[in-house]
Structure 1
Amino acid sequence: MAEIDARLAAIAERFAAQAGEAAAEIAAALDREDWAELARLGHSLAGRAGMFGYGAIGDAARAVEEAVDAGLSSEKIVGLTQDLLAQMAKLNRA
């Protein structure tokens, strides 16, 4: 069991290390107002984040995806995406 826990911890650390790259992709899609790409990135991130114990990031990513899918205003999508990016920035400070 300890070996599995160690492997999961290593994968979670790798997720955290790659968060900067994911955040850059999300910020770039936001700058382009590429809502479809933003939804795709949110969907992908939501699944990975939740799997590795980053529930707040997963929830924020899912909120972005759902906002785009629901056709909410660009202002709402921008606000949710900024919330997501703030959650991701916390990984770099931890």
Structure 2
Amino acid sequence: MYNKGYNITQSNDALLLSYDGKWDHQLYIERFGKSILAYTEQFCDKPWTIIDDISNWPIKPPDEIKMRTEVVEKLVTRGLQHIAVFGSEYSVSKWMIH
């Protein structure tokens, strides 16, 4: 599903998240959490993984870090087991370090 700057692709046990260079930050904050939570319903509480490709998105401002942290806490209760984050050499953020 493509939604104004981010894409969510699903397999039977993983979500692949990717982003393009033209995203609306406020729209992302408002919609991303709801979008990803809707996808997790299909896993039926079985273990699953997120693969997060941030190669086109090197900066994660504080409001995004807060939103993603809140979403991940909910996802863990829905069976999330692992998150793999990859990107360009400049894509390190405080969210990844914690």
Question: Which TM-score applies when normalising by structure 2?
Answer: 0.31
Question: Which TM-score applies when normalising by structure 1?
Answer: 0.32
Bigger radius of gyration, 1 or 2? Answer: 1
Structure with the larger helix share: 1
Structure with the larger strand share: 2
